[in-house]
Homo-oligomer: A and B are copies of this chain.
Amino acid sequence: MYGLILAGGSGSRLWPLSRELHPKQLLNIQNSESPLQYAFLRLKECVPPENIISMTGIKHVSGVKYQLSAITDKTVVLSEPISKNTAPAIIIGTKYIADTTKTDPVIIVTPSDQSVKDTASFIDTVKDGEKIAEEGYIVTFGVKPSYPETGYGYINTSDKKIFDGFKVSKFIEKPDSQTAVKYFNDGNYYWNSGIFMFKASVLLDEVKKHAPEIYQLLENFDFTKTSEIPFTEFDKMPSISIDYAIMEKSENIALVELKSDWNDLGSWKSIYDVSKKDENGNVKIGNVLDEGSKNSFVYSSSKLVATIGLEDIVLVETEDAILACKSDRSQDVKKIYDKLKQQNNSAHKIHKTVYRPWGYYTVTGEGKGFLTKMIHVNPGQKLSVQSHNFRSEHWVVLEGKAKVILEGKELILSPGHSVDIPVKAIHSLQNPYKEDLKIVEVQKGNTLIEEDIIRYEDMYGRV
């Protein structure tokens, strides 16, 4: 069997912990594995690790690789140059597997941002699904609704049994609340988990039939020769979900009921639900001091968070933003996220950590004519060769060692060493060593914007 992990998507609903550049699947909320890592570890129970392929957006490739490398030395990560929803990702992944193996294996596709705790029951369901997939069906995993949720798609099953599953009669988009209650009471409706299984040839045949525009783009593409689809080809793909492109149209779908627990981690309330609570129903993560709160979720990323007498509150502290939310309103986090997007500048002016392919930086101070950053460069990474028209920079090494190229000269700096980068000087910051590199950067100038950057060389294709 092969596995395909969908690790794209941005996380507006777990803001302020998730950001466009640090989405839900990469979050490490409880200081254990991230949802992506859990997804990999779950699949590994039924798919050899070298057969597990992850698909993600170009911005997240380095983050996904970094996290997977912590739990496996066998990992293939394919990147999408732009986000085109689930259909192109799943179809490309399937073609990649078919081309490179020259066989026709069963593939299990799973999102990377869900929580399943009972792995044994999950694997049981996979085994049920495998039999049905072998028979030529596209198998979808259905979750028995526990309440009439309006935020999920539903799947209606027919009476026809196929091994331990049912033939699907209909895929349905998110219902209104009245319809959701009807589905919930009916008994033949399931939540759509987004987990699918199929033989490669079965899916590709359905694509040829129902999504020929995608099929044609890929038909002559050979993944034995390259693992990257050129941007221009990829850009021609329609942006469409697998449900809409294939599942709603195919006659050939079966459902197996997921035997394990399942949570889509779609809101802070969901995170609270899957977290271990203390005797007062509180979840306290990080530096939290409480006096008499109940049923609350309190997350501190660094600062002391003191809580007194809270009830049903979600409180999340990050370096640049704090969220305090009544638990049952946690779906409205998206409204805050959208407001911030509209405001754009004001939300960007404040302190923050920005994730880059080479690591991350945090703005630690801003003022008249200056800006200070803490820069963290992962081992083996380098920032682009660059220059700035409007600012000088001053670097002080804090931890690790820095290789600095300044106007063609190479400098090796240890902790405490510093260097001035004048305006317009061509320079690069590199960490070719095995330890993390941390430096302080002091920018000086009248125009201090990220856009003041001319890139000459970049190992992440950003020139």
Query: Hey, which bits of chain A sit against chain B, CB under 8 A?
Result: 16, 287, 289, 291-292, 298, 300, 302-311, 313, 315, 317, 319-326, 328-330, 332-333, 335-336, 339-340, 346-347, 350-351, 364-365, 367-370, 372, 374, 392, 394, 396, 398-399, 415-416, 418, 420, 438, 440, 442, 444
Contacts and interface: CB of A to CB of B under 8 A. Distances in A.
Query: What's the dominant secondary structure at chain A's contact region?
Result: strand
A284 to B, nearest CB: 12
A404 to B, nearest CB: 15
A321 B306 contact: yes
Contacts of A287: 346, 350
B370 A365 contact: no
A351 B302 CA distance: 8
A295 to B, nearest CB: 13
Given A309-B325, A350-B303, A444 B418 contact: no
Nearest to A325: B308
B396 A396 contact: yes
5 contacts: A302-B351, A313-B324, A364-B364, A370-B399, A416-B420
Contact of A309 (B16, B300, B326, B346): B326
A136 B415 CA distance: 70
B369 A415 contact: yes
A305 B321 contact: yes
Given A304-B350, A308-B324, A372-B440, A394 B416 contact: yes
A371 to B, nearest CB: 9
A399 B366 CA distance: 10
Given A303-B320, A309-B326, A336-B289, A365 B364 contact: yes
Chain copies in the assembled complex: 2
A311 B313 CA distance: 10
A306 B12 CA distance: 14
Given A351-B302, A364-B374, A372-B440, A308 B322 contact: no
Given A308-B333, A368-B399, A394 B415 contact: no
A414 to B, nearest CB: 10
A41 to B, nearest CB: 30
Contacts of A374: 364-365, 372
Given A392-B416, A399-B367, A306 B324 contact: yes
Nearest to A444: B416
B308 A326 contact: yes
A209 B452 CA distance: 75
B308 A315 contact: no
Nearest to A331: B308
Contacts of A317: 322
B292 A329 contact: yes
A422 to B, nearest CB: 10
Contacts of A322: 300, 303-306, 315, 317, 322
A440 to B, nearest CB: 6
A307 B347 CA distance: 15
Nearest to A298: B324
Contacts of A398: 365, 367, 369-370, 372, 442, 444
Q: Which of A308, A315, A392 has the most CB of B within 10 A?
A: A308
Given A332-B291, A440-B440, A415 B364 contact: no
Contacts of A365: 364, 374, 398, 440
A287 B336 CA distance: 13
Nearest to A323: B306
Contacts of A302: 350-351
